[in-house]
Amino acid sequence: MRFLVFVLSVGWITSAHSLERYISKEECTEIDIRDKHPHLRGYFSKPREQKSLGWCYAHTAADLLSVEVGKPVSSPQMAAVHNQWKMKKHREGKLKDLGRRNLSWHSFKSDILVGGDSREVLENFKGEKVVCTEEEFPYSAASPFGRGLEGIIDNIEANKDSYRAGEFHVSLACENIVSELEKLKMFGKEVVHIASMILTDDINNALYNITQNYCGKTKEVVPDYKVQSMMNPLARNGGSFSDDETFKNIEKQKAKKFLDHISNTLKKGKPLVVDYWSPNFWKGDSTGHSSTIIARKWGGGRCHFKVRNSFGQKCNYKKLIECNESEGAFWVSDREMIEKTWRISNIEN
């Protein structure tokens, strides 16, 4: 995600105020948005695995919109709409780097665009009249065919790569892509047409056309909404407070306001997107990442927030991070939330 690049040059420092509690035990009552949306409990409790596609921004945007719509919405549609916007900006000369993913097995540049901003996704999605449900156009297919959409896209790109390189005849490449698309069970007799479109056009365009024409009859109307964002007051100072006492007190007040906004949003039964540099919590690749805040609790002498991730049931988190493996989530203390994140966003009606 391009918006977090500046964090690299700063790093994150545990401040002298790390032991300070920002939220008291009395304030930190238990909150879980699933209690207000029991029909979405299964959705928000199920681990999510983005795997090779950097669409975390689409998954988190889908989480927020799912609460507004009242049922799980399709994260692939969120990504497809956002990628159309990126391609338009690129043609207009307003966006230099489209963010095509880098795959080692590709002899040609990947079609698929990755990296994005959940806030931009939600803003751009306001122009859509309907939203596809997760059931109609899922990211992770619960089927014997394997890995779901991300796996299907991998295989489609491999076939396009072989076709471009002259290794596959057009008929074989098309046949293989048809075989992949049939796993989605969406297209019926038009699957050959869709396969031909994918083979000769950009996959991002094809995915967008799919969401516009093949989601079925249960498309849900997109409600009116407003996207609200708040910058972490310590983000530009490496997660630590100023040495100057006057500025320090102002920053502490802003930090409390930042955390209070999270709590107040959760009390309304609404999730929030949190943006951060993944190595702050995760032992793995260094990249910008987005997750969804869905709950709050007291534990270990501090207030903690539950963060729904998109790395499956892996628990490769750093020390002191409590992993909720069965739900693909983790718990972040108030201290870590204020010292190691960059921005929060939510839908406010």
What is the pTM assigned to this prediction?
0.86
Average pLDDT score, the chain: 83
E strand spans, 244-342 = 272-277, 288-299, 302-308, 322-324, 329-333
Query: Which of 343, 186, 33 shows the shortest CA–CA distance to 194?
Result: 186
Asked which of 221, 238, 259 is the last residue of a domain, the reply is 221
Domain identity same for 99 and 186: yes
Asked which of 194, 221, 248 is the last residue of a domain, the reply is 221
* Tokens, residue 234: 């310590």
Question: Is residue 191 a part of any domain in this protein?
Answer: yes
* Tokens, residue 13: 């420092």
Express as a percent the part of the chain with pLDDT over 70: 88
Query: Which of 281, 283, 265 shows the shortest CA–CA distance to 273?
Result: 265
Domain span including residue 107: 69-221
Write down the pLDDT at residue 51: 80
Question: Is residue 82 a part of any domain in this protein?
Answer: yes
Alpha helices per DSSP H over 141-201? 149-164, 170-181, 191-200
Domain identity same for 31 and 108: no
SS3 assignment, position 220: strand
* Tokens, residue 266: 């959760």
Q: What is the pLDDT of residues 15-72, one digit of tens each?
A: 434 456 789 999 999 999 999 999 999 999 999 988 878 899 999 999 999 999 999 9
Number of domains in the chain: 2
Q: 248 burial class (0-12, 13-18, 19+ CB within 10 angstroms)?
A: middle
Asked which of 197, 221, 245 is the last residue of a domain, the reply is 221
Domain identity same for 333 and 253: yes
Q: What is the pLDDT of residues 146-178, one digit of tens each?
A: 456 777 888 888 888 888 888 888 888 888 888
Query: Which of 95, 111, 92, 115 shows the shortest CA–CA distance to 103?
Result: 111
Contact 201, 160 (CB under 8 A): no
